[in-house]
Every structure is written in structure tokens, then in C-alpha cells.
Structure 1
Amino acid sequence: MPETTWWKRGIVYQIYPRSFQDSNGDGIGDLNGIRRRLDYLASLGVDAIWISPIYPSPMADFGYDVADYCGVDPIFGTLEDFDRLVEETHAEGLKLILDFVPNHTSDQHPWFKESRSSRTNSKRDWYIWRDPGPNGGPPNNWISNFGGSAWEWDEATGQYYYHAFLREQPDLNWRNPDVRKAMYDALRFWLDRGVDGFRVDVIWHLIKDAEFRDNPPNPAYQPGQPEINRFLQVYSADQPEVHEVVSEMRDVLEEYRERVLIGEIYLPLERLVTYYGKDLSGAHLPFNFQLIQTAWDAQKIAALIKEYESALPEGGWPNWVLGNHDQPRIGARVGAAQARVAAMLLLTLRGTPTMYYGDELGIGKVEIPPEAVQDPWEKNEPGLSLGRDPARTPMQWDSSAHGGFTDGSPWLPLDPGFRSRDVEGLSKDPDSILMLYRRLIELRRRHLPLSVGPYEPFTAEGSVLAYERRHGAERLLVALNLGHQPHSLPLPDGTSGRVLLSTHLDREGDLLETKISLRPDEGLIIALRD
């Protein structure tokens, strides 16, 4: 696809809808709340919004347990509200990407109710049912991602059903062509309503081993780790046949103009890139979470970028992610000062960046009191600090009660210091992290090297990571100090430079003759001149 394709040049902004903006005072964000804040998103400069699940759901896993793929949960609004959101999103010049959760449904989905009603029901094979193992227990040793066996006994029909996550989330049988047809029809339902693409949840889980073999033990497992780490998921995920499914999903999107298919995939790079598919017939953007999983170290990040760029198939477009609804916020991982450097890294690497709501405010770790915990993973495996609630706290809009998020009682507590990190206040502070994000996005839009130019490593020395981005005759150097001490490095031979932007927002226009002096926790974008 040409470099002008919107999802190549664009920036994706993830919204966790429960936490973005409440419009009716029930303490939970909704579609009309998102619509109310479209002007903010347009002014921030992002190109697309990705909305986490809004489907009808019992909310055992906050929308990732879907009871109807072609509807909207009343918590979030109505289909009419959704249609209006799509229309107004497009009117603002933005795209709308919807979360799609095809691996599993809710146990309250009509399909599963039929499936578990009897062994002879026509939808029995829509889910994964197995007889007990030789010892009378579960069919194999597969572990749920949320702890405990992934097999749940069904007394009425005398078999186990498989659930990779909660027992309330039975896995669909994607080897069944009727399941595939029903799910592809669900994709078309939303595409016909104007959705610009999908982020597909746990796409690497869709096909399981046909023989249901035991997963091998993980030799690196240590007590205190999540139980899912006890075994290597050799047979319960990432099976060769999954690529046929991904390609079929892509075919559905190809029936429409300029839609994007994004796959959630937590796999090593050499396996991740296979999800681009043969001849790029798979996901447009297999999500690259390596920056979340890699130490905040200049040499390690440089090596990661090199490995990723080398692993990409010819024509495959890269992408980068710093955080999402399942991971600790970047501000919690690297601290407030380095969160600014991380913003510059995300928005200057080659490929499509995905921002997570609230990161532009510098939200860090929000402590959730035990009585306020909502996340089922934290409840299933207490004491391991696995809870995802700290990354899902409400957006901080102003200094009023509950940060302008709601007139009611918020479903999760806000950051206690929200009044020093809200949109209204930071918009008035020329040196704030929000203003840095706006400047970075504006710069990325104005300078093609930052969006579509090649990546060329320059150095990874000490705490400094530096690389060039080029397009035509324009050369930009990005120099990032990932440490807390000053550092200097020479300019590329035969060049001088002019600072376009500092993460400190105070050096624009500075001329550099022979070297770059970086202050602690500073990143620079420099225009090079021969």
C-alpha cells in the first residue's frame, strides 16, 4: 500500500470507553461521552480512535465477554448513539477503529446457551467441548490466563468446555466453518456502519492444537509469577492454521475501502511478524508490544529496533505501542521525566504509533484500594500485583470533582493528584507533557521523515539512543537521553544542526555546530544540514 495510506501516516489513540467520559452521571464512560470529547481528540492531532469493546455483555471482564456481536451495551448507549459517533468522528477528520473479540464469547451469549443445552445441539461444535482426561479430571494441563485450569466441568452434559480466560468466557471453535461465517458477518455489520477497521483481541489464540496435547513445563517459571507462566503455550495458542483465519478476516476487510486490520499478539518477534501473512495477506498491523516488555535501556531498545526492522517481511509496515488497557502505564514504568522522552521515542520511530488515553497527561500508577478493585485477574490471583485497574482509571479533564469525568461516582478512583495533571490545566502550561505531545504530533505531521521515512541507527552509547529519519533531502536526528545524567555526542560527520524540539520545550531554534549536549531526561529532534 502507498505511504499515503491513512493508517501508515496516522496516529491511533486508544480509548477505554468506561473511563473516558461519562455523559449520564452513572460513573461509567459511554459513547456520547466520547462524542462530547471529539474536539479534544481533533485538537490533539491524532488520526484515529480505537474504542475498546462496547458490545452487550454481563461485564465479567468489562466487555471482553461478549453476549451479542451486533449491538451496544446499554451502559455505553445505543446503536443510534454509535452511528452518530461514527458520523461525527468522520466529520472531525478522524477514523474509528472498533475492538473485536472473536476468541471467546460470554457464557450468556445465545450461541453458548444453545451449545451447552445438549451434546446433540446444532451449536455444540461452536465451542470446544472435551471428555474428561484418563484420570477423570480436565482433558489436559492447559491453564487459564487468569489462573486455574482452562477447563470447566459442565454437569448437565458431562463434558468440559475450554476457556482461555474466565470460565464465563468460553472459547469459540474456529475450526468450525459456521463459526467463521457468523463472525465474518459480524465484521460486515460494523463495516457497513462505517467502521474504519478493527483491533482483534488475542488473535493468536483463535486456533488450538487439534490433538489437545499437554503444554510443556516452563523451565523459567518461578513461584510468585502468574500461574499461566507454569507452562509454555505451545499447543493452546499460535497454531499454524491460525494464519488462514487471519487471512480470511483480511479478505472481509478488503471488501471495503481502506480499512485496517490490527491484531493483538503477545509473541516473540520472529513469531509476531508471521501474522503479516504470506504475501502480506494477514493483519496490516500485528501489534508490536516490545517497547512495553523491554528494559528502559538505550542499548536494549536499539537492539530491539534493529531486530524488529530486520524481521519485518518485505513491505510489512511497522508499528509501536507504549501502553494499553492491560499494561502498567508508561509513566508508572519509567517515571514522569522519562515519560516525556518515551513520548518522543514513540512518535519518531518508523511505523504507526498507538497512544493510550491519559498518557499525554503523564498519568502514572494509581493505587487502587482493595475495596475498590474491579479487575477479575487481580481477584483470581491476589497478591501478585496483576491488577489492570491502575491503567484504566478515569480520564482527567479538569479540576472539578471527579476530574470532569462524571457527575456521579466514578467506577474506579481517579489519580489523587489529578488536579495537577488534567487537560484544562496542562493546556494552559506551555511546558506540560500535554503540550509536548501536541508539539510532537504537529512536528510529525509537518515533517515526512518522521512518519514515512526510513529508520537509520546512529548510536546507542551509555544512556543515549540516537537515530536518523530521512525523506528526500530532509534529514532529522532524534537523540534521546534515557538516563538522569547529562550526556553529549557528536553530530554526524560533516553536518550541523538546528533544534526543532526538545522534550523540555525550551530549545527550539538552537544551532548546533559539532556536538549535541543532552540534559538529564532530555530528547531532541534536530534538523541536520550538510
Structure 2
Amino acid sequence: MKRISIFLLGILTLASCKNEPEQTVAVEEQEEQSIEPVNNEVLESAVIYEANIRQYSPEGTFDAFTEDIPQLKDLGVKVIWLMPIYPISEARRKATNDKSIEDIEDPEERKKYLGSYYAIADYTGVNPEFGTKEDFDELVETAHANGMYVILDWVANHTGWDHPWLEENPDFYTQNEKGEPVDPLNPATGESWGWTDVADLNYENKELWDAMTADMKYWVDEHDIDGFRADVAGEVPTEFWEQAVPKLKETKPLFMLAESEDKDLFHNAFDMGYNWEGHHLKNQLAQGKVTVEAWDEYMKKIDTTYQQDDYLMNFVTNHDENSWNGTVRERMGDAAEAMVALTYTIPGMPLIYSGQEYDMDHRLKFFEKDTIPKTKGVMWPLMEKLGQLKNQNPALNGGKEAADYTRLKTSADEQILAFERSKNGEKVIYIANLSDKPVNFSLELTEELQPYLGKKELKKEKNDQYHFAPWEYVILANN
């Protein structure tokens, strides 16, 4: 690592000249560059940022992203999740969703197709598009210096077709009746998922478990990363994760995020999972397909499904949603801001996906170079305020010791979502009209809280009722 090398050189120089005041300065500098191991106290109030290095900047490099890490503090970010940073296989590389690079005859045309990040050729290398391992180390060090943890996207379910295991350990792969490796199959139908650019790994082979765990441990031991986001975590045996994670944590505490809602993954492996069902409900609410009653039923279900210390990641977009299902505005329209505010105020951890903070209004290309916008519009100041509240008010704690969630009854519960979060004497209340019609409603508030975000003032109209326009919301806080 660049900074560690410089620091060690400084220590050797200081030892030779026996300059006691300078030795004190060096120790202080080392302490400033360190970060405490990842822990639940920090995660309770954290915002997570998904960094799409290829599309984050025109350069598409580690260095370009590293330059912007300090300003992510303004958004309350405490965890940076890097989409896969590893070399991408060239064999059977995706050009479009249904064409591989071999289907493109023009060699110049082929060059623009960079492939899927999730078709990995080497788990312990870095994609030369992004830079070098030294550049990556600089990114991690900069994040740590700014009080942020770095987790890597880990794709344990499959590799690209260039991965050396296909030659060296073909028995690591699922094979057909001819003994040929196959792409991942839908277990219910036996048909391909369409992920033809990757080869499915066979976890019945326990030697694969050792090899995969060793490759994960490499990044913890050699590059000081702070955890992993596990791609399609539920498609890999839970027993693999349960044996791997304790070995990874022998080096230091780690934060583990599963791309799954499977409650069994939380017992001995993962800290947080995806709130997929909640996300789909937000889309349906925004599109008028369900009412707030469906949300209330979902929150009751969460209470009974998960253990008290399980928690989920809340989002309105991510790399899959943006590229394949549409932008936030496409899916949520005028409800977008109310839904973003909802992701910060319900139990769990809110996610920002690269470009969301800049009001990104287009679907990023997945297999080609693209670039997010960098103009601050509506979302940046909104997320800045939401991030501050999440970081500073324990009433929004969302981890293993989450603040209480209490539904507040209104006279229009099909359209109005109102709830209170509370912890350690602090309170935050979210009230929103989650419909495309104006609503008059009554709501009993037991104490005076100040508007923090959204509707500028909360005052009763005629007949002791509040009036909210379509998709209007307010966040109240006593701190």
C-alpha cells in the first residue's frame, strides 16, 4: 500500500536521526489514517453507497472515484460497496442481453463491449480498465481516512469462461451429461437463466469451498477491505457461507451483505440482506397498484419473519434496477422523493446507487462504457439532509439494535402512511400521502415536533384535519 510504505520509510528515517518530536508527529499521523474495525455502532446510523467504477466518471477508474470519496461524507455514507473490480472474461463476453461478443463480426464494433462485471476471469486480480492494485489500495486508504468502510462485490455462484479453474479444476463446475461445464440453470425448470457468459460452480465439491474462501481472504489480508456483498447469495449453499465467514473474520471484523432476503443466511453468515419485497412494494405504491394497507401488512410480516437483530438494505434503485427496469423517475414518477425519504426512515440501511445523488434520468449501459451525470439537482440536497438525520439521530438507528417502529393511525390509512421511530428519548415521524390524489386526514400527535424535511409546515386546516397534496410528505424530529 502506498501510504503504509511511505509511513514505514518515515519511521526508519526517524529512528536513525533519533528526533523525538518528529517521532511523535509520525505516530499521530498513523493514528489519523486508521479506522476502527467495522462494528454495529457505526452500522446503526450508516448509509451505504454502491459505486459503479466503470460508469462513475468519464475515466472509469479507481483514481477518479477516489477523488470524490471525501464529498460522500456529506451524504452520510459510511460504507462503500464496490461493484466487481476483477478482470472480465473475454470468452463468450456479453455484447447485449441476448448476444455475445462472438456474434459481432466487426472488430471495431467488438471493442466497445466491455462485458459484465459478474463474469470474472480472476478473483484475485483487478480489471485493468480501472487501474492497478496500488490504485485500489489508495481508494481503500482514502475511504478509511474519511471514516468509511469498503466492501467488495463477491460472485461466488459462477465464473467467467476464461477463469483458470476451467482448465485446472474442471470438477469445480456443474457439468452436463457430456462432462461439459454449463452456465447456471434454473433448478425448477432445468433451463438456462440466460447468463451464458458465465460457468456455474458446483458446491458439492468441498475443494471449491477452500479455494473460494482463500480468494476472499486474500482481499482481507492483503488489501484491508472490510467485508463483502455476496451476489445471488441464496444460490450458493448457506453452509458454504457459514464456514467461510468465520475464517474471513479471523483477520478482523467484517460487514457481510447478502443479495437475498433469505432469513437463514442471517444466522451465522450475513449481517444484512436486500429488502427486495419492500422495494417492489414502493414501485407498486408509486404506480397506484396497491394502497398503503399493503405496506402495513408487509411491515407486520417483517416483524414475524426475521429475528430482532436481522436487518435489510432499503433502496429505490441499484445497478440491476437502473439498467433493466428503469430509472427512479421512470418507475416512481412524482412519488420519487417521498419514496427516497421512506428508505431512510424505515428500519434498515439506505442505499445510494452511483448517479442517484445526481438525479440520473437514464438507464446506464451494462456491457458498455457510459457515464453518470455530475450536476447536483433535487436529490443531492435531499440526500444530504436525510444522511445527516440518519447519522445523527438514534431514532433512525437501523441495525442490530434498531430504533422502534410504531405505525400512527390516521383517518385515511389507505393513502396516508404515518409512523414514529424512537430510541433513547429521540423521535422521528414520517407522514406521507402515498397516492396521486390530495387527501384531508386527521392524525393525533402526542407532542410538538419540528418539520425537518418535506412539507414546510404542519398545521391543521378546517375540522382539525391536515391537507397533503399528492405524494407530499413531511419528516418531523425532536432533535
Length-normalised TM-score, structure 1: 0.69
Q: Which amino acid aligns with 1:204?
A: G
Q: Which amino acid aligns with 2:46?
A: G
1:344 maps to which of 317, 321, 341:
341
Cα distance between partner residues in 2 of 1:129 and 1:43: 49
- Does the Cα contact within 8 Å between 2:46 and 2:390 map onto a contact in 1? no
Q: Which residue of 2 aligns with 1:20?
A: 56
Cα distance between partner residues in 2 of 1:140 and 1:196: 30
1:103 maps to which of 147, 157, 177:
157
Cα distance between partner residues in 2 of 1:374 and 1:450: 34
- Does the Cα contact within 8 Å between 2:183 and 2:196 map onto a contact in 1? no
Q: Which residue of 1 aligns with 2:298?
A: 304
Q: Does 1:184 align with 2:213?
A: yes
Structure 1 residues 528 and 83: CA distance shift in structure 2, 3 A: closer
1:203 maps to which of 230, 233, 236:
233
Q: Which amino acid aligns with 1:344?
A: A
Mapping of residues 50-89 of structure 1, within 5 Å: 50-58=81-89, 60=93, 61-89=115-143
2:425 maps to which of 453, 466, 473:
473
Q: Name the % identity.
A: 26
SS in 2 for 1:318: strand
- Does the Cα contact within 8 Å between 2:85 and 2:130 map onto a contact in 1? yes
Quote the RMSD (CA, aligned, Å).
3.1
Residues 272-301 of structure 1 show CA distances to partners (whole Å, capped at 9, x for unaligned) of 21221xxx2121112221233222142222
Deviation at 1:32, TM superposition (A): 1.0
SS in 2 for 1:302: helix
Deviation at 1:528, TM superposition (A): 6.4
Q: Which residue of 1 aligns with 2:204?
A: 175
Cα distance between partner residues in 1 of 2:268 and 2:292: 34
SS in 2 for 1:394: coil
Q: Does 1:6 align with 2:47?
A: no
- Does the Cα contact within 8 Å between 1:331 and 1:365 map onto a contact in 2? no
What is the aligned residue count? 400
Gaps of 5+ in 2: 1-36, 94-114, 286-290
Structure 1 residues 138 and 176: CA distance shift in structure 2, 3 A: closer
Cα distance between partner residues in 2 of 1:138 and 1:66: 15
Q: Which residue of 2 aligns with 1:356?
A: 353
Q: Which has the higher contact order (CA 8 A, sep 6+)?
A: 2
2:78 maps to which of 40, 47, 54:
47
Q: Which residue of 2 aligns with 1:274?
A: 264
Structure 1 residues 351 and 141: CA distance shift in structure 2, 3 A: closer
Cα distance between partner residues in 2 of 1:89 and 1:111: 33
Mapping of residues 486-525 of structure 1, within 5 Å: 486-492=438-444, 494-502=446-454, 506-507=456-457, 516-525=466-475
Structure 1 residues 395 and 30: CA distance shift in structure 2, 3 A: same
Residues 236-280 of structure 1 show CA distances to partners (whole Å, capped at 9, x for unaligned) of xxxxxx221121232133213331111112xxx6xx21221xxx2
Residues 321-368 of structure 1 show CA distances to partners (whole Å, capped at 9, x for unaligned) of 322111133222111x311101110000111222212222332344x8
Deviation at 1:166, TM superposition (A): 2.7
Q: Which residue of 1 aligns with 2:390?
A: 444
- Does the Cα contact within 8 Å between 2:87 and 2:126 map onto a contact in 1? yes
Deviation at 1:165, TM superposition (A): 4.8
Structure 1 residues 465 and 364: CA distance shift in structure 2, 3 A: farther
Q: Which amino acid aligns with 2:361?
A: G
- Does the Cα contact within 8 Å between 2:315 and 2:340 map onto a contact in 1? no
SS in 2 for 1:292: helix
Residues 84-136 of structure 1 show CA distances to partners (whole Å, capped at 9, x for unaligned) of 1111111111111110111111111111133xxxxxxxx23111113159xxx
Q: Does 1:454 align with 2:404?
A: yes
SS in 1 for 2:80: strand
SS in 2 for 1:326: helix
Mapping of residues 195-344 of structure 1, within 5 Å: 195-206=225-236, 242-265=237-260, 272-276=262-266, 280-294=267-281, 295-296=284-285, 297-327=291-321, 328-335=326-333, 337-344=334-341
SS in 2 for 1:257: coil
Length-normalised TM-score, structure 2: 0.76
- Does the Cα contact within 8 Å between 2:80 and 2:151 map onto a contact in 1? yes
Deviation at 1:51, TM superposition (A): 0.8
- Does the Cα contact within 8 Å between 2:407 and 2:420 map onto a contact in 1? yes
- Does the Cα contact within 8 Å between 1:321 and 1:354 map onto a contact in 2? yes
Deviation at 1:497, TM superposition (A): 3.5
- Does the Cα contact within 8 Å between 1:57 and 1:66 map onto a contact in 2? yes
Cα distance between partner residues in 2 of 1:195 and 1:17: 16
Structure 1 residues 15 and 140: CA distance shift in structure 2, 3 A: closer
- Does the Cα contact within 8 Å between 1:8 and 1:317 map onto a contact in 2? no
Q: Which residue of 2 aligns with 1:394?
A: 371
Cα distance between partner residues in 2 of 1:511 and 1:252: 56
Cα distance between partner residues in 2 of 1:2 and 1:97: 11
Structure 1 residues 489 and 257: CA distance shift in structure 2, 3 A: farther
Deviation at 1:479, TM superposition (A): 0.6
SS in 1 for 2:161: coil
Structure 1 residues 195 and 170: CA distance shift in structure 2, 3 A: same
SS in 2 for 1:198: strand
Cα distance between partner residues in 1 of 2:164 and 2:39: 43
Q: Which amino acid aligns with 1:200?
A: A
2:173 maps to which of 127, 132, 141:
127
